[in-house]
Amino acid sequence: MAKVAVIGFGLVGRLAALMLAKTHQVSVFEQGDANTVDSAGTLAAAMLAPLAESVICEADLAEQGLAAIPLWQGVLAELDLPVMFQQAGTLVVAHQQDRGDLHNFIRRLKPLAGHSAQSLNQTDIATLEPELAGRFSQGVYLPCEGQLDNLAFYAASFKTLKRLGVQFHFHTKVNIDGNQVGNDTFDWIVDCRGIGAKAQMQGLRGVRGEVARIYAPEVTLNRPVRLMHPRYPIYIAPKPNHEFVIGATEIESQDAGDVTVRSTLELLSAAYTVHSGFAEGRVLALRAGLRPAFDDNRPKVTRDGALIRINGLYRHGFLLAPLVVKNALTEVML
C-alpha cells in the first residue's frame, strides 16, 4: 500500500482517487470545497462522443475515447449513488439552410473501428426523437456515443471516496516539493489541478467555455442532440428530470468571468430553434469556465520522480479521463 496525494478534486482528481483508494492510502488536497465549482467538469455536458469529436481531434484520441466508454461503466458501477449513464447515441441535425454544415461534419468524421454514422431522413429523426418530428429533414445518428450526469458523478464520487477512507483537505492550497506536499511526505503525488496548475506547467492555457443549464419540463429528448450551424454549433445534453446542458462556446481566453449576453443569446436562441419548448424553460445556471489545454489540444501526462501530472484534457475531459488516468497510474504500477 502506497501513500498517495491527489492534488485537485475535479474530474481527473476524482477518477485518480477512485482508482487508487481501494488499494492505497489516499489524501486529496483541494483549494476549494467539496463541490469544486471551479472544476471544468462541473460545467461539462459529460458527453462521451468519440465519433463527433473525431471531426476536430486526431483519430487516435477518438479511438481512446471509444475505449474509455466501458471504463466509465466500471467506474460508475462501484459508486455508492446511482449516476445516470446512457449509450443511446447522438443525433446530429441542421436546419435546411445550413445543410452544408451538416455535410461538412459528415465528411470530416474519421473512421472509428467498427463504428460509423448513419444518415437519417425526416421519418428516422421522428422515430429517434418524436418531439423533433417535422423540424429537420435530415440528420445523422452516431450510435456508439453516450453521456452521463456530471453533477451526479461529482456527488457520488465524493460519497464513495469518504466511505473508502480517503482523507480530504479542502480549502488547502499546497506547495509540492519533491515527495512533500505541505508538511507531509508521500510515495506518489498526482497533480490533477487542471488550469490551477498553470503556473507550474509550461504551455498550459485556458480555453473559455460557457454553458447554460435549463429546466424545461416541456422538452423530452432521449439523447444528446447536436445542431450544426455556421456560427453557433451547439449541443443539448438531456440530464435527468428534464434538465438540459446547452453548450458550449469556445473562446481563446483566460477570462473565467460571468457568461456574456452575446453567448447567452447564441446558445439559447440556437436551442430554441431545435425545440420551441425551451422558451418556457427555466434557466438554472449560466456558467463559464476554463478548459485546460496545451498547444496541441491533447492531454499530457508527465512524471518527475514521485510527481505525476495529468493535464490538458481540453474539451475531452469526460471522453478521455478514465483511460488517461488509468494509463498514467498503471505506468507507475499504482
Partner 1 sequence: MNCALTIYGQSFESRLLIGSALYPSPEVMQASIRASGSQIVTVSLRRQNSVAAGQDFWDLIKALDLTILPNTAGCHSVKEAVTLAHMCREVFDTDWIKLELIGDEYNLQPDPIALLEATKILIDDGFKVLPYCTDDLVICQRLAELGCEVLMPWGAPIGTGKGLLNPYALRTIRERLSEMTLIVDAGLGLPSHACQALELGYDAVLLNSAVAGAGCPETMAKAFRAAVEAGRFSYEAGAMIERDIAAPSTPTLGMPFWHQ
Query: Where do contacts with partner 1 occur on this chain (CB under 8 A)?
Result: 56-57, 97, 104, 108, 205-206, 208, 230, 251-255, 257, 260, 262, 293, 295-298
Q: What is the largest CA-CA distance in the chain?
A: 64
- Give the nearer residue to partner 1 in terms of CB position, either 2 or 251: 251
Q: From residue 119, how far is each of 105, 131, 146, 273, 325 by CA, in Å? A: 12, 19, 18, 21, 35
- Cα separation, 16 vs 329, in Å, equals 8
Burial level of 110, CB count in 10 A (0-12/13-18/19+)? middle
Alpha helices in the chain (DSSP H): 11-21, 40-43, 50-53, 59-77, 99-108, 122-128, 150-163, 261-274, 317-331
Q: Which three cell numbers stand for residue 257?
A: 468571468
- Give the nearer residue to partner 1 in terms of CB position, either 58 or 304: 58
- Give the nearer residue to partner 1 in terms of CB position, either 14 or 193: 193
What is the closest distance, in whole angstroms, from the C-beta atom of residue 328 to partner 1 in the complex?
A: 21
Asked if residue 248 lies in contact with residue 291, where contact means CB atoms within 8 angstroms, the answer is no
What is the closest distance, in whole angstroms, from the C-beta atom of residue 326 to partner 1 in the complex?
A: 24
- Give the nearer residue to partner 1 in terms of CB position, either 108 or 173: 108
How many CB atoms within 10 Å of residue 111?
12
What is the closest distance, in whole angstroms, from the C-beta atom of residue 288 to partner 1 in the complex?
A: 10
Asked if residue 41 lies in contact with residue 318, where contact means CB atoms within 8 angstroms, the answer is yes
- Give the nearer residue to partner 1 in terms of CB position, either 56 or 285: 56
φ/ψ (deg, to 5) at 125: -65, -40
Of 117, 109, 2, 111, which Cα lies nearest the Cα of 56?
A: 109
- Give the nearer residue to partner 1 in terms of CB position, either 297 or 311: 297
Asked if residue 147 lies in contact with residue 48, where contact means CB atoms within 8 angstroms, the answer is yes
What is the closest distance, in whole angstroms, from the C-beta atom of residue 246 to partner 1 in the complex?
A: 18
Whether the link from the prior residue into 34 is cis, omega within 30° of 0, is no
- Give the nearer residue to partner 1 in terms of CB position, either 19 or 207: 207
What is the closest distance, in whole angstroms, from the C-beta atom of residue 297 to partner 1 in the complex?
A: 4
- Give the nearer residue to partner 1 in terms of CB position, either 143 or 233: 233
- Cα separation, 252 vs 199, in Å, equals 18
What is the closest distance, in whole angstroms, from the C-beta atom of residue 173 to partner 1 in the complex?
A: 22
- Give the nearer residue to partner 1 in terms of CB position, either 205 or 223: 205
What is the closest distance, in whole angstroms, from the C-beta atom of residue 8 to partner 1 in the complex?
A: 20
What is the closest distance, in whole angstroms, from the C-beta atom of residue 197 to partner 1 in the complex?
A: 14
What is the closest distance, in whole angstroms, from the C-beta atom of residue 51 to partner 1 in the complex?
A: 16
Paired with 71 in beta bridges are none
Q: Which three cell numbers stand for residue 224?
A: 444528446
Inter-helix orientation angle 11-21/317-331, to 10°: 40
